[in-house]
Chains A and B, each alone.
Chain A
Amino acid sequence: MRTFTILSTLLLTLAATPSSAITAEELALKNAEAKGGLARLRALTTVVRTGKLIVSNGQLTLEMRDVTKRTAEGGATRNDAQLQGLSASSAWDGKVGWRVDPFWGRKDAERMTPDDAKSLIEGADIEGPLVDHGKKGHTLRYLGTEDVDGTTTHKLVVVRKNGDTTTFFLDPATFLEIRI
């Protein structure tokens, strides 16, 4: 284990009260800095993760795996979750969203509706919508502070080109999101 040096330069007085004079742009930049800096985030080409997906009040655990890749179309992503040897997948390849749901006995892939694929499309943005938001056609709005589980967070809204919004609740000390 090693101490993460970038964070050690930040003020880490927890239970900090957010400054009221911050802008949306500043928050986005601080968030990127906290995650390793814009250069590192822009340099990401793929992220592959494995882990566990726990559902049904902790009574069901699936093995999960997901992979995201930077592409010219804005990214591609795929999530797999495995149970009893059957593997469910959902993916966005940059143009088409599809899923395989084998738990009812069928293994062939089905197309997803654009609505259903929305979360995948958004998840395919490998560095997140706050990085280079302008180039991506997003606008940012800072909506002040809001309590999230006892922490007074900065509330930052990303408005996408198509009008959809995602709200980031940023920890006031670290500027990392604790809720999206």
Chain B
Amino acid sequence: MDLGEWGEVGGVLLPFAYEGGPKRSSDRWRTRIETTDLNVPVADAVFAMPQGSAAPAPVPVAAGKPLTLVVKVAASTPVVDAGTISGLYARNIGAAAMSGRVAAVAGRTEKDGKATLFVGAASGGVWKSTDGGTTFRPVFDDQPAQSIGAIALDPSNPKIVWVGTGESWTRNSVSIGNGIYRSTDGGESFSFMGLPESERITRIVVDPRSGNVVWVCVPGKLWSDSNDRGVYKTIDGGKSWRLVLRGPNASTGCGSLDVDPKDPRVVYASLWDFRRQGWTFRSGGEGPDASSGSGVFKSVDGGATWSEITPEKNKGFAKKPYGRIGLAVAPSNPRRVYASVESTAAALYVSDDGGATWEARDKSQWMVWRPFYFQHLVVDPTNPDRLFKMNGNLIMSEDAGKSFSVVGGFTGMHGDLHDLWINPANAKQVFAGDDGGLWLSYDGGARWWKSDNLPISQFYHVAVDDTDPYNVYGGLQDNSSWVGPSEYPGGITSARWETLYWGDGFWTLPDPADARFVYAEWQGGYVARIDRVSHEARDIQPKANKGEKLRFNWNTPLALSPHEKGTLYVGAQVLFRTRDHGQSWDRISPDLTTNDPAKQQQEKSGGITVDNSAAEMHTTIYAIAESPKKKGLIWVGTDDGNVQLTQDGGKSWTNLTKNIAGLPPHSWVSRIEPSPHDAATAYVTFDRHTFGDMGAWVYVTRDAGKTWSALVTPANDKGVRGFAHVIREDGKKKGLLFLGTEYGLFISVDDGARWARFTGGRFPAVPVRDLALQQREDDLVIGTHGRGIWIIDDYSPLRALDTSTLTTSVALLPGQTPQQRISGVGGWANGAAAFVGENPTDGAVITYYQRDRHMFGPMKIEILDAAGKVVDTLPASMRRGLNRVTWSMRLAPPRVPPAVSIAGWATTGPRVLPGTYTVRITKGDVVTEQKIKVALDRRARFTEADRKAQYDAMMKIAALFEDETTLVARTNTLRTAIAERTSEGKGEAIKATLAGLDAKVDEVRKLVVATTEGGAVTGEERLREHTDTLYGALFMYEGRPGPYHLARIAALRAELDEANGKLDALLKIELPRTNEALDKAGLERLEAPPKTVLLDQVSPERAAWLRTLKRKQKKSVTVDDVPVRMWVR
């Protein structure tokens, strides 16, 4: 719950605005306090539960003091930081449909039988479920790294959870971590506990006897030498760490680790020698026979000493050299140890004597395939003979590894398994994580449910089209290419996303020449043009000439020409261009790379096990961009560090790399952004993480590459963290820059002089691989590698963040013209287990800047119509920096007569007419205004004149409701007085007379409102319900009503007139007769209720009448069941 302005009453400071619920959801609520009274007498009966259908005792209505306060505060020095810009908010549209790679799964069974689960996403944080996997929420988003390698739960204390950051399934696109974290509140919040240089952690084991003793298996840095790797141990709960087992060289760390749960002094650990470079990878040594630092070790004294397990000493074990080795101890029989060994005799090795001797068992395809990515075993905690091996397919053995069967993976799941948790309380429940997310089995692993609740998708690139609403396209790691809507009625469910192609997806571009087609690709440059109607995919990859090898990067760049619809560029080592959608290709460059043969040995990549999947392809073009200001001016960047430029459409090229002073050689060009404002200006990001340099390198040239300036370097990072993937410049405001790095989104409003990290909507420090600018909407679409797609709706207020604005106390900022978007029908009962992506807010978004957080005194936002009348008042947002509030653009709902149930449609008022309105902010003694123009939905098929006709009809219906309310109020007023006379009267005769009149008056009321209580579906419809139905019919469609709608209004008006006539007749004939009886009984006469009962203001007659009532009563008078005082202002 967020608290707003604070005010004072009776010497006590209290907040007078609250907000709660998920931001921007329909569950968000706001409370605005208008009056407060302290220490007034309140009877205990007010809180007592009423019996039967009796109403709760009324709350006393006191004087009602408004909260007031003004405090002069010192102005702060304006800054541009996360707090300044993050009020713009960002929404996550998913997707969970394809989800993303899960690197770690851990769980625990609670005392009530429910399973608590933790899922570590490869680059999307930690997700927690307390309901056995039905719902998940992110619990690690506040931390500076989101790549997760390992999760461990303390078996002796359910409050303690350990997370090791940095995934250890070291594919080419793997992210990085920054150490180990611990939670002491069951995984709700985490604290950093050390190992900052570890980069990745593969396993954590907590000693079951003492939670202060923890083992951590650190493979260490992937791309460079490091001595911060091996087996670490703490005995003081993480306050300090000792490296207890290290490898023989600076490229060997820990590959796997397990501990005997019955004697935790016994520890098994594998060491893993590995290295990746931009063009090669090895697991083990440089080749199958080359020397490797990998090995297997055992300690029986808690890590004080270690002995190596070798084939010489331990009969039956695999011969060296080794690559990656996975180890697992059977929890129910710790003498049983399993080892999956990468070697030239790769197999599963099993020991039944604590590692003294071994037997080679299974060596099937899915045991030995791609060990660097899959070397992980999980043994059933209740059955030592049952174990799972992670691999492309998930295989399971029930005979201690002698044989395995495929139980999941490419069939029945996504495939590419990485971790798995078996519920020890019910071994049939298995939770597995693969490259497609989380899977749940309730039958021991035979069949799997897919979790639809983890939007941890890993986009490489993102693009948008120009439809309304626009679509978002993107390619994902191991999850193909998809398209989904940026908004959809009811929210963006998984069903709204559509898969386009196969394999790993990268650039996915809608064809601007024909909206029916999309360009997509799978890894290694297999480009296709896809027909979205027939779903036909046509290969259009440029082909090699005789004897030639075309070198397409794993993430082959595709780029559309901003000048020629239908022109597409593709980069291998040369640049290709097609002007006919791939029917033919022109080569428009020579080899633009370094063409270094030493970096073209991919067929030897892999180390012990050959692994050449196009991921290591190098000396390729990686970035292509044609200047939007000058046709034929094309920038190209390569993965081996060349920046090349043509200004004549490819006829000639200039290598500009040597002009970039201060940039180390061979720096991978990750993106080039030609400025949309100036042909000679371009921004370039360089990514050196494959050299072990995790900093950001960003340069700009303003003279077509002759000279360059560094905007961000590791030596002068200006607060930017992580290696850089993408930079974009706003099309309207020069120097408004958006930068995506491995650790998030950074924005500069001053051409790179200062950078602020964007955290709106709790946007985490997740890799931002791509950014798309939807120019019509001014939306920034963020393609993350680990948390799907996020959208900042209408970022245009950033354009106004200049020095002058930053120093003001409060300033309204211009934004997009608000549209009255059509309220479409959509959404369904998805259940709690389905992720639903967020829509943009419905209403006119008002953005303003505050130099400081507003704490004291009222702050209000009013909307005035063209005549200067206030049509709405909005609760203000308090935060420092940019703030956003939404005006619903609706009038107050009509007042309806009270009945036994809600008149559903009439709870919401109709929209105001399009036109010019004024937004006015009053903050203490500062008043600022801005005009906004409200427009129809640009998709609307009706005109403003049609809208006016609908509006006029709605006003007539509102008047109907008003008059129905008046009629019912009159009958209630009279019946209240009748009840009072009845209670005062003595004798049956007068009571009978009064009862007779009461019944007749109530008959009139029952013509207007339904009266059958009890909550059943009565189908009882009276005038009010019919009016509500008609109101709803016109509410749904804002165009011109039909003549039959207008005729219905007239018919209901006629019915109301009849009901009024009946009441008037009673007042003319029955009331005088009753008053004669009252005179005889010595009781006060009944007065005819006034014809106009205005419940939000008091006419003089009403005020006098109410005062009369109050004077004569000993307790509060009620009208319409509400204390009189509420209606008297």
Contact = CB atoms under 8 A, between A and B. Distances in A.
- Report if A and B associate in a common complex: yes
Interface of A: 1-4, 6-8, 12-15, 34-36, 40-41, 43-61, 63-65, 67, 69, 71, 76-78, 80, 82-87, 89, 91-94, 96, 98, 100, 102-109, 111, 143, 146-147, 149-151, 165, 171, 173-174, 176-180
Contacts of A165: 185
B647 interface: no
Contacts of B36: 47-49
B64 interface: yes
A84 B896 contact: yes
B887 interface: yes
Contacts of A2: 68, 70
Contact of B1 (A40, A63, A179): A179
Nearest to B1018: A105
Interface string B855-888: 1110000000000000000110011110000111
Closest 6 pairs between A and B when the two form their complex, measured CB to CB: A150-B83, A85-B898, A149-B879, A105-B1015, A106-B1015, A93-B47
18 contacts: A15-B79, A15-B852, A15-B880, A52-B34, A57-B886, A58-B874, A59-B888, A60-B893, A61-B892, A67-B59, A82-B1122, A84-B906, A93-B49, A96-B49, A103-B901, A150-B82, A150-B879, A177-B15
A149 B880 contact: yes
Given A83-B907, A178-B3, A50 B47 contact: no
Nearest to B188: A165
Interface in B77-120: 77, 79, 81-84, 86-87
Contact of B1014 (A91, A105, A109): A105
A89 B184 CA distance: 38
Interface stretch (B5-13, B298-306, B372-380, B531-539): B5-13
A13 to B, nearest CB: 6
A86 B898 contact: yes
B759 interface: yes
Nearest to A150: B83
Given A12-B73, A80-B56, A105-B1016, 11 more contacts: A44-B38, A45-B39, A51-B35, A67-B46, A98-B49, A105-B1014, A109-B51, A109-B56, A111-B49, A151-B853, A179-B1
B487 to A, nearest CB: 14
Interface stretch (B22-30, B226-234, B318-326, B673-681): B22-30
B1013 A54 contact: no
Contacts of A103: 901-902
Contacts of B68: 1-2
Given A58-B886, A59-B888, A150-B853, A180 B1 contact: yes
A77 B47 contact: yes
Nearest to A39: B11
A37 B770 CA distance: 52
A138 B1123 CA distance: 39
Interface residues of B, number: 105
B59 A180 contact: no
A52 B31 contact: yes
Nearest to B81: A150
B3 A57 contact: no
Contacts of B83: 147, 149-151
Interface string B675-706: 00000000000000000000000000000000
B855 A174 contact: yes
A12 B38 contact: no
B772 to A, nearest CB: 26
A8 B35 contact: no
A47 B39 CA distance: 6
Contacts of A71: 44
Contacts of B28: 55, 57
A6 B57 CA distance: 38
Contacts of A76: 44, 47
A98 to B, nearest CB: 4
Given A105-B1014, A106-B1015, A150-B86, A48 B37 contact: yes
Contacts of B189: 143
A69 B852 contact: no
Nearest to A155: B189
A151 B47 contact: no
A24 to B, nearest CB: 15
A78 B878 contact: no
B1120 interface: yes
Interface in B974-1021: 1013-1016, 1018
A4 B13 contact: yes
B26 A57 contact: yes
B13 A36 contact: yes
A9 B230 CA distance: 56
A100 B1015 CA distance: 13
Contact of A107 (B15, B84, B1013): B1013
B1039 interface: no
B443 to A, nearest CB: 32
Contacts of A83: 902, 907
A14 B898 contact: no
B125 to A, nearest CB: 17
B750 interface: no
B31 A4 contact: no
Contacts of B853: 14-15, 149-151, 171, 178
A111 B50 CA distance: 10
A71 B897 CA distance: 38
Contacts of B33: 49-51
Contacts of A59: 888, 890, 908-909
A144 B328 CA distance: 39
Contact of B2 (A64, A78, A109, A178): A178
B352 interface: no
B71 interface: yes
B65 to A, nearest CB: 10
A146 B142 contact: yes
Given A52-B34, A149-B880, A84 B11 contact: no
B440 interface: no
Contacts of A60: 893, 907-908
Given A78-B47, A150-B82, A176-B855, A51 B76 contact: no
A91 B41 contact: no
B1042 interface: no
B1016 A57 contact: no
A180 B3 contact: yes
B875 A54 contact: yes
A59 B899 CA distance: 21
Chain B CB within 10 A, most for which of A54, A87, A93: A54
B901 A78 contact: no
Nearest to A56: B26
Contacts of B901: 86, 102-105
Contacts of A173: 855
B1013 A106 contact: yes
B49 A109 contact: yes
Interface string B633-663: 0000000000000000000000000000000
Nearest to B907: A60
A8 to B, nearest CB: 7
B880 A151 contact: yes
A47 B46 CA distance: 13
A50 B73 contact: no
Given A40-B12, A59-B890, A178 B878 contact: yes
A99 B597 CA distance: 77
Given A50-B64, A78-B59, A150-B853, A108 B52 contact: yes
A108 B53 contact: yes
A51 B31 contact: yes
Nearest to B894: A84
B3 A179 contact: yes
Nearest to B874: A58
Contacts of B890: 59
A112 B81 CA distance: 45
B428 to A, nearest CB: 30
A69 B42 contact: yes
B56 A94 contact: no
A44 to B, nearest CB: 6
